Amino acid sequence: MKTLVFLFDKLNSIWSHQITARLLSNILIIIFAVVLGAVALNHLNIFSLRFEHTDNYFLAVDASFTALLIFEILGLIFVLPRSVADSVGKQFEILSIILLRATFKEFGHISSLLVGQHFEFSLLLPMLSDAIGALIIFAIIGYYYRIQKHSRITKSVREQSRFIQFKKVISLLLLISFLMIGAGDIKELVTSGHYDPSFNAFYTILIFADILILLYSLRYHSQYTNLFRYSSFAFATVLIRLSLSAPPFINAITGVAAGVFVLGLTFVYNNFKDGISE
């Protein structure tokens, strides 16, 4: 276990470094420029791309947003050991970006119709739904972080250290799982030309990780408020997971409902049993 904790700490140190932030920014810019250039060359028939939607310039936006989401999920993994509550907030940050990504993707699909004389406004409704949902979740996140209170559930520094070490091991396993899922997505892209990032699969694994952390935390604090709070965090992850696979309109509604639920949980928890957190 010490080896796993050491490995996580080393990776976390690299991830938190300022150089890494600059590198990630450069990667996003390069992805955007390369994909945009590739689509332009495809339009000029200089060479043909066998991937889907290579005739649409908004593919560059979709690709860069997908890469951004991958980096955000990595950030979520490294936040988890520090605070379960903050990791939940990070999940909603990712959900809001996914909804915004969907709006750009939808606009890319209908942009060619905007110049037509028979364009129907109803085509814009899914895009507006995702955008408004993302905005509401953005507001919820702000209030969520503002009213969030942190304190230990453990009775000693030693217990707190063990609990954090356990969450680091879980986070490392999540990282390995995410990399394996990503490898499968890349294989699918190479073999079929279709790329659909498996964020749903990762969130499913995250549900089990939340439950495992809940069960482990009971050895330090079995009070009802702690049990209900951690269980509610896991339920919020379930709602986010459902939102990711739901059709337009339902996805935004489910995501907002999950945000309202967590915000209400935090407000009630702070007033019902102040001084207990992860």
pLDDT attached to residue 166: 92
Give 172's pLDDT tier (boundaries 50, 70, 90): very high
pLDDT attached to residue 236: 93
Higher pLDDT among residues 112 and 160, named by residue? 160
Mean pLDDT of 249-262: 95
Q: In this model, does residue 112 exceed pLDDT 50?
A: yes
Which residue carries 């063990």 as its tokens? 162
Residue 187 burial (CB count, 10 A): 10
Q: What percent of the chain clears pLDDT 70, i.e. is strictly above it?
A: 85
Residue whose C-alpha is closest to residue 74's, from 176, 156, 189:
176
Give 278's pLDDT tier (boundaries 50, 70, 90): very low
Residue 278: its H or E element: none
Q: Which of 15-19, 74-78, 182-186 has the lowest mean pLDDT?
A: 182-186
Predicted TM-score of the model (pTM): 0.85
Higher pLDDT among residues 272 and 52, named by residue? 272
| DSSP one-letter code for 45 | T
Pairwise CA distance, residues 140 & 192, whole Å: 39
Q: Which of 117-121, 154-158, 183-187, 191-195 has the lowest mean pLDDT?
A: 117-121
**What residue spans of the chain are helical by DSSP H?**
2-16, 18-43, 59-79, 84-110, 125-147, 157-192, 199-217, 224-245, 250-272
**Helix, strand or coil, per DSSP, at residue 122:** helix
pLDDT attached to residue 119: 58
Check: CB of residue 51 under 8 Å from CB of residue 193: yes
Higher pLDDT among residues 272 and 141, named by residue? 141
Q: In this model, does residue 19 exceed pLDDT 50?
A: yes
Higher pLDDT among residues 240 and 276, named by residue? 240
pLDDT attached to residue 277: 44
Higher pLDDT among residues 96 and 272, named by residue? 96
Mean pLDDT, the chain, rounded, equals 84
Spatial neighbors of 247 by CB under 8 A, at least 6 apart, are none
Q: In this model, does residue 30 exceed pLDDT 60?
A: yes
Q: Which of 29-38, 84-93, 171-180, 215-224 has the lowest mean pLDDT?
A: 215-224
Pairwise CA distance, residues 149 & 145, whole Å: 9
Q: Which of 103-112, 155-164, 170-179 has the lowest mean pLDDT?
A: 103-112
Give 41's pLDDT tier (boundaries 50, 70, 90): confident
pLDDT attached to residue 163: 86
